[in-house]
C-alpha cells in the first residue's frame, strides 16, 4: 500500500513539473507557431541558476525567483533578437531554436562542468510527513502545490485579464487579432518570456527531484513534446491533463518495468495520434 | 547532357584513384563522408523535395546498424543474411513511423519524428538486456562480398563509393521522375495537388519509406566502417547533424547534401581534434546557416556576395 501511495504522489509531482515545463511550450506553440526546441535548455538553465544561487547561501525561494527572472529574460532575448529576424519562416525558427539548444547545452557544460549539481530542498521540507498512517515525501507535496498554484495563476491570467484575452485572440486567429489592433509584436515577446519563465520555475522546483546535470535538457524536451502532442497543440487544458497522464505512466513505468519505462512513455502519444491526430483536447491541426 | 555525363564520369574516376595517393586516415575520412552523404541525401528526399522537416532521421541509420550488429553478435548470422534483414526491418519501421508522423504535417510532423526517434533511442540506451545500453555493441566484422576483403580501408572506400554512386543515382532518378515532380508539387502546393487528384498523403508516405530505406543503407555502411555502435548514433544530435548537412549544402538540390556532408564531416573531424566544443560549433553553424544562408551554401554565398558587393544576381 505504501508503495502505491508514494508512487502516486511521485506521479502527481512529476505531472505538476511537466505542466510547468509544457504549458510554456504549448503557449508559445499556440500563439507563435514555433516549436521551441530550447525549452528543455531553458528548464536546465533554470535548474543550474537555482543551484548556483543556493550555493551562494540563499533560500530556494530566492533561487526560484532569480531563475525565473534570468530564464524569462533569456527567453525575451531569444525571441527579440533571433526568432524575430526569422518571422514568417516557421521552419527556420525551429531550426534556430535547435541550434540554440546545442549552444546552450555546451555553454552550461562550460560554466557548470560535467558533474551533476545537487539541489537540496529546504531543511524543513526534507523530513517525511506522517499522515493517516502513511509516510509522504514532503517535498513532492510542495512541488504539486506549487504547480497547482502556477496552473491556477496561468488560468486566471488567460481567462480573466486583458493580456490573456489578447493571447487567446492571437491563438485563435492571428491575422484577425492584428487587424483589431492587438500589438502582436509585444505579445510575442511577453508570451515567449512567460513560457521561458515557467520552464525556469519548473527547473528550480524540479531541482531537488532531478538535480542539475548535463543532458537534463535532452531528457526534458521529449517529455514536453509528448505532453503537448498528447494533449493537443495549443490547448492548455490538454497540456494539464496530459502532464499528469505522462507523470503517472513514467513514474509507474520506472517502478514496475524499468527497462521499458522510456518506451511505454510514448505509447499514449502514438495511440492518440493514430486515432485523433489533433490530440486529446486540441482543436487545431498544425 | 553529354557534357554533364562526362563530368560525372571524370569525377568518379578521380574519386576512384584518390585512395592511392592518401594515407589510411584520409581514406577512412573519405568513407565517412560518403556514408554521411548517402544519409543526408536520403533525408533530403523528405526535407528538400517533400518539404517535410524530419528531426528523427538518425533512427533509420541507427536501426539498421543496430539490427545488423545485433543479429551478428547474438546469433552469429553472416552478413549475407544480416544486411537484407536489417534493410527490410528498418524500412518496415520507417513505413510505420511514417504512417504515424504523416498523420500531422508541418511543425507537428517535426515534433512527431523527434518524439518517435526518442523511442528508438530509449530502447538503444535504456533497454540494456536487448541492446547492451550505454556500452553499445562491439566486436563486429566487415563483410567479404565476392571474397573481397573489406577490412582493407582502400577496398572499403571503393565499396562505399560503389554503393554511394548507386544510391545517389537512384535518388536522382526518383527526384527527376514524374513521381519526383509530384513530390515537389506536394511541397509547394499541397492543396492544388490534392485538387488535381493526387494522393498527397500517399506520395509523402512513399517518400518517407524511400528515405528510411536509404537511411538504412547508410546505417549498414556505418556499422561496417566502425564495427561498433553506441546509442548516441540515434540521438537528437545525430539527427540534427544530418539535417544540418542537408540545409548547409542546400535542401532540395542533388549536390547539396554531398557538399554539406563534406563540410560537416571535415569540420567534426578536424575541430573535435583541437577543441571539445563540437556541440557549440554545431549550434553556431546551425544558427548561421538558418539566418544568413537559408537556401544553403551554394546559393547562400552568391546572395551574401550580392548583398555586400552588389552586382548582378
Q: How far is B139 from chain A (nearest CA, A)?
A: 24
Inside any domain, residue A280: no
Whether A35 and B111 lie within 8 Å, measured CB to CB: yes
Inside any domain, residue A285: no
Confidence category of residue A258, pLDDT binned at 50, 70, 90: confident
pLDDT of residue A285: 46
Whether B107 and A33 lie within 8 Å, measured CB to CB: yes
Whether A90 and B107 lie within 8 Å, measured CB to CB: yes
Record the cell numbers describing residue A48, joined without a space: 543550474
**Which among A95, A110, A285 is the nearest to B104, CB-wise?**
A285
CATH topology of domain B25-309: ABC transporter involved in vitamin B12 uptake, BtuC (1.10.3470)
* Residues paired with A136 in a beta bridge: A129
pLDDT of residue A73: 95
Reference A283, options A245, A234, A229, A227; nearest CA is A234
Confidence category of residue B13, pLDDT binned at 50, 70, 90: confident
Across B118-145, average pLDDT? 82
| Tens digit of each residue's pLDDT (9 = 90 or more) over A135-148 | 777 888 888 999 99
Please report which residue ranges of chain B form alpha helices under DSSP H: 2-21, 24-44, 58-75, 79-101, 106-126, 128-131, 153-176, 178-188, 190-195, 200-226, 236-249, 256-274, 278-292, 297-309
**Which of A91, A111, A276 is the mutation pick for testing B, counting most B CBs within 10 A?**
A91
**Rounded Cα gap, residues A203 and A211, in angstroms:** 9
Across B265-285, average pLDDT? 82
**Rounded Cα gap, residues B65 and B297, in angstroms:** 30
Residue A193 has pLDDT above 70, yes or no: yes
The domain of A136 spans 23-214
In this structure, are residues A143 and A151 in contact, taking their beta carbons and an 8 Å threshold? no
| Tens digit of each residue's pLDDT (9 = 90 or more) over A22-64 | 999 998 988 888 889 999 999 999 999 999 998 888 888 899 9
Where is A191: in which H helix or E strand? helix A184-210
Closest alpha carbon within chain A to B52: A91
Whether B100 and A273 lie within 8 Å, measured CB to CB: yes
Inside any domain, residue A251: no
Whether A95 and B126 lie within 8 Å, measured CB to CB: no
Residue carrying C-alpha cell 510532423: B109
Q: How far is A104 from chain B (nearest CA, A)?
A: 8
Map residue B141 onto helix, strand or coil: coil
Inside any domain, residue A266: no
Inside any domain, residue A102: yes
Residues of chain B contacting A222 with CB distance shorter than 8 Å: 114-115, 118
Residues of chain B contacting A95 with CB distance shorter than 8 Å: 53, 243, 247, 286, 290
Whether A92 and B115 lie within 8 Å, measured CB to CB: no
In this structure, are residues B57 and B39 in contact, taking their beta carbons and an 8 Å threshold? yes
Residues of chain B contacting A259 with CB distance shorter than 8 Å: 126-130
Query: What is the residue extent of each domain of chain B?
Result: 25-309
**Which of A106, A224, A250, A274 is the mutation pick for testing B, counting most B CBs within 10 A?**
A106
Closest alpha carbon within chain A to B283: A99
Map residue A130 onto helix, strand or coil: strand
- Count of C-beta atoms within a 10 Å radius of residue B232: 15
Domain count, chain A: 1
Whether B103 and A103 lie within 8 Å, measured CB to CB: no
C-alpha B175 chain-centroid distance: 16
Q: What whole-number percentage of chain A has pLDDT above 70?
A: 97
pLDDT of residue A97: 93
- Count of C-beta atoms within a 10 Å radius of residue B56: 26
Q: What whole-number percentage of chain B has pLDDT above 70?
A: 94
Burial class (CB in 10 A: 0-12, 13-18, 19+), B135: exposed
pLDDT of residue B313: 44
Q: How far is A97 from chain B (nearest CA, A)?
A: 8
The whole-model pTM stands at: 0.88
Amino acid at each position: 500500500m505504501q508503495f502505491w501511495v508514494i508512487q502516486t504522489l511521485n506521479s502527481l509531482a512529476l505531472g505538476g513539473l511537466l505542466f510547468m515545463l509544457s504549458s510554456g511550450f504549448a503557449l508559445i506553440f499556440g500563439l507563435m507557431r514555433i516549436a521551441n526546441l530550447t525549452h528543455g535548455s531553458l528548464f536546465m538553465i533554470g535548474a543550474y541558476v537555482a543551484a548556483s544561487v543556493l550555493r551562494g547561501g540563499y533560500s530556494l525561494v530566492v533561487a526560484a525567483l532569480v531563475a525565473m527572472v534570468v530564464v524569462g529574460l533569456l527567453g525575451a532575448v531569444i525571441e527579440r533578437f533571433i526568432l524575430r529576424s526569422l518571422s514568417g519562416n516557421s521552419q527556420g525558427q525551429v531550426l534556430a531554436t535547435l541550434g540554440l539548444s546545442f549552444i546552450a547545452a555546451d555553454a552550461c557544460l562550460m560554466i557548470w562542468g560535467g558533474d551533476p549539481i545537487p539541489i537540496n530542498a529546504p531543511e524543513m521540507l526534507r523530513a517525511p510527513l506522517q499522515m493517516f498512517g502513511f509516510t509522504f515525501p514532503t517535498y513532492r507535496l510542495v512541488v504539486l502545490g506549487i504547480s497547482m498554484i502556477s496552473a491556477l495563476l496561468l488560468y486566471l491570467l488567460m481567462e480573466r485579464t486583458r493580456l490573456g484575452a489578447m493571447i487567446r485572440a492571437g491563438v485563435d486567429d492571428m491575422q484577425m487579432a492584428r487587424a483589431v489592433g492587438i500589438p502582436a509584436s509585444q505579445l510575442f515577446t511577453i508570451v515567449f518570456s512567460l513560457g521561458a519563465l515557467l520552464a525556469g520555475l519548473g527547473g528550480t522546483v524540479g531541482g531537488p527531484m532531478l538535480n542539475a546535470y548535463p543532458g537534463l535538457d535532452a531528457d526534458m524536451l521529449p517529455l514536453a513534446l509528448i505532453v503537448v502532442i498528447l494533449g493537443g497543440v495549443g490547448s492548455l487544458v490538454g497540456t494539464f491533463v496530459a502532464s499528469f497522464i505522462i507523470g503517472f505512466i513514467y513514474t509507474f513505468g520506472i517502478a514496475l518495468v524499468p527497462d521499458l519505462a522510456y518506451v511505454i512513455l510514448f505509447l499514449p502519444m502514438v495511440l492518440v495520434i493514430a486515432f485523433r491526430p489533433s490530440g486529446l483536447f486540441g482543436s487545431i491541426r498544425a | 547532357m553529354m557534357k554533364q555525363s562526362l563530368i560525372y564520369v571524370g569525377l568518379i574516376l578521380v574519386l576512384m584513384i584518390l585512395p592511392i595517393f592518401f594515407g589510411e586516415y584520409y581514406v577512412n575520412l573519405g568513407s565517412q563522408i560518403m556514408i554521411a552523404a548517402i544519409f543526408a541525401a536520403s533525408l533530403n528526399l523528405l526535407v528538400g523535395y517533400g518539404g517535410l522537416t524530419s528531426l528523427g532521421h538518425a533512427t533509420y541509420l541507427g536501426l539498421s546498424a543496430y539490427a545488423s550488429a545485433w543479429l551478428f553478435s547474438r546469433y552469429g548470422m553472416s552478413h549475407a543474411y544480416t544486411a537484407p534483414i536489417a534493410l527490410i526491418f528498418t524500412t518496415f519501421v520507417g513505413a510505420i513511423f511514417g504512417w504515424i508522423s504523416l498523420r500531422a504535417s508541418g511543425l507537428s510532423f517535426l515534433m512527431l519524428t523527434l518524439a518517435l526517434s526518442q523511442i528508438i533511442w530509449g530502447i538503444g540506451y535504456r533497454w540494456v538486456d536487448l541492446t547492451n545500453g550505454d556500452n553499445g555493441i562491439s566486436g563486429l566484422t566487415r563483410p567479404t562480398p565476392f571474397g573481397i576483403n573489406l577490412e582493407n580501408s582502400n577496398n572499403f572506400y571503393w565499396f562505399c563509393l560503389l554503393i554511394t554512386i548507386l544510391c545517389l543515382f537512384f535518388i536522382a532518378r526518383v527526384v527527376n521522375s514524374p513521381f519526383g515532380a509530384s513530390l515537389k508539387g506536394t511541397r509547394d502546393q499541397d492543396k492544388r495537388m490534392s485538387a488535381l487528384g493526387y494522393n498527397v498523403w500517399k506520395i509523402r508516405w512513399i517518400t518517407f519509406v524511400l528515405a528510411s530505406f536509404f537511411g538504412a543503407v547508410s546505417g549498414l555502411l556505418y556499422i561496417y566502417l566502425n564495427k561498433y555502435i553506441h546509442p548516441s548514433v540515434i540521438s537528437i544530435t545525430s539527427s540534427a547533424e544530418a539535417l544540418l548537412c542537408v540545409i548547409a549544402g542546400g535542401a532540395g538540390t542533388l549536390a547539396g547534401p554531398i557538399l554539406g556532408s563534406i563540410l560537416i564531416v571535415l569540420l567534426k573531424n578536424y575541430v573535435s581534434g583541437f577543441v571539445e566544443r563540437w556541440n557549440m560549433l554545431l549550434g553556431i553553424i546551425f544558427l548561421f546557416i538558418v539566418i544568413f544562408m537559408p537556401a544553403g551554401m551554394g546559393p547562400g554565398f552568391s546572395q551574401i556576395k550580392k548583398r555586400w558587393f552588389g552586382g548582378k544576381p
